[in-house]
Amino acid sequence: MSRFLLPIGFILLIVLLYVGLSLNPREVPSVFINKPAPDFSLPKLEQLDQQVSNKDMLGKVWLFNVWATWCVSCRSEHHTLMALANTGEVPIVGLNYKDENAPAQTWLSQLGNPYIFNAVDAEGRTGIDYGVYGTPETFIIDKKGVIRHKHTGPIYPQQLEQSILPLVRQLKAEQG
Amino acid sequence: MRNFIIHAVVLWALSFSAQAKIESMEFANEQMEEDYKVLIQELRCLVCQNQNLADSNAELAQDLRRQVVELLDKGSSRDEVVDYMIARYGDFVMYRPPLKITTVLLWFGPVVFFFIAGYVVISFIRKQQQSADVGISEQQKQKAHSLLDDE
């Protein structure tokens, strides 16, 4: 009996460790998938006396990208966002998270602005509503305003081609 | 030796400042303060994942502590605050995960492994005893006794 049990137990343990150790502990499963994007109404970074809202984007597939000037990896994904914006395939809305307006505006004018507009979340409350725990984070939101995917960490061209753009195209084909 | 004692006392004293929190919170009543203390012990800081909100000084932890206070101020119960956090960050935000199908292994895995290990150890010991018995026959035993008695 134990002649069989031992190797089986050993194999089970190997499988458990193999799966367990290859998981990314930073990847907190998002509870927002297939849930409506939380509402926000915030000042527009490009013109602070105007308000912007998630409702402005109803009827469109869009990316909601959480960024800040203090976020180092946001800088590394910035040129990928620029390239994506240049294709015109999907509009990107920015959430300038716990940042100051002046450096954020400078960032956009110096590095380029891939966003159709940016919402200012100086106190991070909208961030909490979206379950943001690290920047950058990117949500893919469909025509009905439902979150369909969340990408944690910087977007690289490879991920853009392999996961994000295919989903965007699929969602654009859906009925609004 | 004196140096050692001074060092020890200084380090011990320093350990208190490491416990101290940055913000001081004001509470309307004792129940609220009690709820706050329990909640920040139970809720996880999402940035520094092995710390709870009470221990962490990450920006997000500060924001979430502020959020907890605001919710309590609005009259939310302890459970409502926990639900609020779970709705945003998932079960992971709780230090004690709920018992669900996906967490069964987490809860009972250690017990299962304990019994498997116990079974293996016991069967190993039994085997050793058996092989020790089988080692020599009755005849050989008598021979050994007679040899020893000759001495």
The confidence band for A114, taking pLDDT boundaries of 50, 70 and 90, is very high
| B67 vs A: CB within 8 A | yes
* CB within 8 Å: A29 and B90: yes
| pLDDT of res. B151 | 58
- List CB contacts (< 8 A) between A135 and chain B: none
C-alpha–C-alpha distance, residues B11 and A149, integer Å = 48
| pLDDT of res. A37 | 93
Pick A9's closest partner by Cβ from B60, B92, B116: B116
Question: How many Å lie between the alpha carbon of B90 and the closest alpha carbon of chain A?
Answer: 6
Is A80 in contact with A160 (CB distance < 8 Å)? yes
- List CB contacts (< 8 A) between A125 and chain B: 67
- List CB contacts (< 8 A) between B46 and chain A: 28, 133-134
Q: Two tokens at A149? A: 């995917």
Q: Domain residues of chain A, as ranges?
A: 31-173
Question: 3.50.50.60, 3.40.50.300, 1.10.8.640, 3.30.70.20: which CATH number matches B21-98?
Answer: 1.10.8.640
Of the segments A28-32, A74-78, B44-48, which one has the largest average pLDDT value?
A74-78
* CB within 8 Å: B60 and A124: yes
Task: Give the N- to C-terminal CA distance of chain A in Å, as an integer.
Answer: 60
Q: Mean pLDDT, consecutive 10-residue segments, chain B of 151 residues?
A: 76 62 70 88 81 84 90 89 89 81 82 90 88 73 83 58
- List CB contacts (< 8 A) between B87 and chain A: 31
> Biggest alpha carbon distance in chain B?
94
Name the residue with higher pLDDT: A91 or B133.
A91
| B25 vs A: CB within 8 A | no
Strand A41-44 with A47-53, pairing: antiparallel
Q: Two tokens at B25? A: 């919170």
| pLDDT of res. A29 | 64
ipTM of predicted assembly, 2 dp: 0.75
| A70 vs B: CB within 8 A | no
Closest among A59, A70, A85 to A141, alpha carbons compared: A59
- List CB contacts (< 8 A) between A71 and chain B: none
| pLDDT of res. A140 | 95
Q: What is the dihedral of CA B113, B118, B119, B120, to 10 degrees?
A: 90
Please give the full DSSP string across chain A, using - where no structure is assigned.
-HHHHHHHHHHHHHHHHHHHHHS-TT-PPPTTTTSBPPP-EEEETTEEEEEEEGGGGTTS-EEEEEE-TT-HHHHHHHHHHHHHHHHTSS-EEEEEES--HHHHHHHHHHH----SEEEEETTSHHHHHTT--SS-EEEEE-TTSBEEEEEES---HHHIIIIIHHHHHHHHHS--
Q: Domain residues of chain B, as ranges?
A: 21-98, 104-133
| pLDDT of res. B20 | 46
Ramachandran angles phi, psi of A51, nearest 5°: -105, 145
What residues are paired with A53 via a beta bridge?
Answer: A41
| pLDDT of res. B17 | 55
CATH superfamily of A31-173: Glutaredoxin (3.40.30.10)
Ramachandran angles phi, psi of A85, nearest 5°: -60, -35
Q: Would you give the DSSP letter of residue B52?
A: B
Least confident of A2-16, A35-49, A142-156, B69-83: A2-16
* CB within 8 Å: B63 and A123: yes
Is A66 in contact with A136 (CB distance < 8 Å)? yes
Instruction: Tell me, yes or no, if the pTM score tops 0.95.
Output: no
